[in-house]
Structure 1
Amino acid sequence: MTGTERATPDHKRATSGHEGATVLVVEDEPSIADVLTIALRYHRFEVMTAGTVRDALTLAERTRPDAALLDVMLPDGDGRALGRELRARRPELALVFLTARDAPAEIVGALGFGDDYITKPFDIEVVVARLSAVLRRTRRADVLPQRPPLRYGDLELDETTYSVCRAGRTVELTPTEYALLRFLVRNGGRVVPKEQLLRHVWQYEHTPAESTVVETYISYLRRKLDTLGPPVITTRRGVGYGLA
């Protein structure tokens, strides 16, 4: 199914991990916004739509969505700037960009603070699946019991609040950065192959064209963690990554 087709009852509903989640769709093309709204509601998302940066900020403030699906080119501003503003207001908000811009620099720039980047034309089932995968990583577990923190060296990860400390100092991570670091911590000193990181953190069953996403997010983690102590993430060339 493409971005111009509508979801039908013949498609399997991908509800695991997101049922009841609220998504803010920011898209100024009515036909695309309509397709996204119908498909997401069929898959049991709550959906709000906005066609401008101004309307999106107003809706986000009033309703506090779990995720935002953002077009990059909007009539009154840049969707990436909107994403930065939304993330600044709510660090736990999941951000997925949906745009015709597919240059590597555009993708890397958006992934610096967002959680996924989908190019147009798109398959609507892929959008639903990838949004669901992001929400499985980012939704706060408010109903779960308190769990003991994960520790490795001077790193401490709180799996209830999704917060990270190194040497007693808070480290501000995006949801995807947190998911990547958590998987490395859970594997202790083991070197984790890149393909395994793609499967467990991004839910990619096959290595996608944008497979450099792992290297990109490793560099983001290093930039944030290495300012508080010696380098903590190691690279085994041609294999993957681990913790020192």
Structure 2
Amino acid sequence: MTFLENCKILVIDDDPALRQLITLTFVSQGCQVHSAANGSEGLRMFYEQRPGLIILDIMMPEIDGWTVCAQIRQLSNVPIILLTSLGSEQDIIRGLEGGAVDYVVKPFSPKVLVARAKASLRQAYQTPTPPKVTTFSDGYLTIDLVKRRVLVGNEPVKLSATEYRLLAYLVQNANQVLTTEQILENVWGLEYRESSDYVHVYISHLRRKIEADPKQPRYILTEYGIGYYFEK
């Protein structure tokens, strides 16, 4: 059984033909699919159904997908895939920074969408392998990978599942430069080898949360033209 089988999926899109296509695609994978035609209905169904995955359009009447994503993210870490015709770099970055775990541009391949859904669910719900390096502490920043706890100045820091996986991967390979390709494959999966923007966005997220000065980072450093590393 994969993470996709028996998963409850909520599709929020104002295009009825597209909702039907996505529904049939995921029902054939053994999923239970609910759909909504606008943001208001989508939020109501989110509260009622508590899905394990949300596929969300952006350009919709009443409440757009940006707002829906932000409201859901305040309440839940459920993985959200944005599925939209907006394909600019700025839109993709906005979506990822707004809490989506993935961003798929229309027109799309149903097979690719299924692969992205599987990867998103695996990232969100898979039990992690026990880390080799389990702790880091220098008086300002404390990271405990066993307890999944991060403290800055003794104050707990809330990280999303993706942010935590990225930080854990960097810490476990401390002082070693990791290419963006290595980070993508180990944190997101092979399906994301070409999605370098994801790494840059989430590195920025982490710096804002753990660095005293994100513009002059102490812990998560850039090796220009190559990738990033965590400096102990």
TM-score normalized with structure 2 length: 0.86
Partner residue, 1:6 = none
Identity %, equivalent residues? 30
Contact 2:115 2:191 in 1 (8 A): no
Is residue 201 of structure 2 the alignment partner of residue 225 of structure 1?
no
Contact 1:148 1:159 in 2 (8 A): no
1:118 to 104, 111, 122: 104
Gaps of 5+ in 2: none
Partner residue, 2:197 = 212
Partner residue, 1:240 = 227
Q: CA RMSD in A?
A: 2.6
Partner residue, 2:6 = 20
Is residue 134 of structure 2 the alignment partner of residue 150 of structure 1?
yes
In structure 1, distance between residues paired with 2:172 and 2:47: 35
In structure 2, distance between residues paired with 1:159 and 1:116: 27
1:131 to 1:206, Cα distance in 2 relative to 1, 3 A:
closer
Is residue 196 of structure 2 the alignment partner of residue 196 of structure 1?
no
Matched to 1:20, the amino acid is N
Contact 2:9 2:52 in 1 (8 A): yes
- The structural deviation recorded for 1:97 is 0.2
Task: Give secondary structure in 2 for the equivalent of 1:65.
Answer: coil
Matched to 1:239, the amino acid is I
Gaps of 5+ in 1: 1-14
2:90 to 88, 99, 105: 105
In structure 2, distance between residues paired with 1:155 and 1:19: 37
In structure 2, distance between residues paired with 1:115 and 1:219: 15
Q: What's the CA shift string for 1:203-237, capped at 9, x where partnerless?
A: 245742x4222122111110111149972101222
In structure 2, distance between residues paired with 1:43 and 1:206: 21
Partner residue, 2:151 = 165
Count of residues paired in the alignment: 224
- The structural deviation recorded for 1:17 is 3.1
Contact 1:149 1:159 in 2 (8 A): no
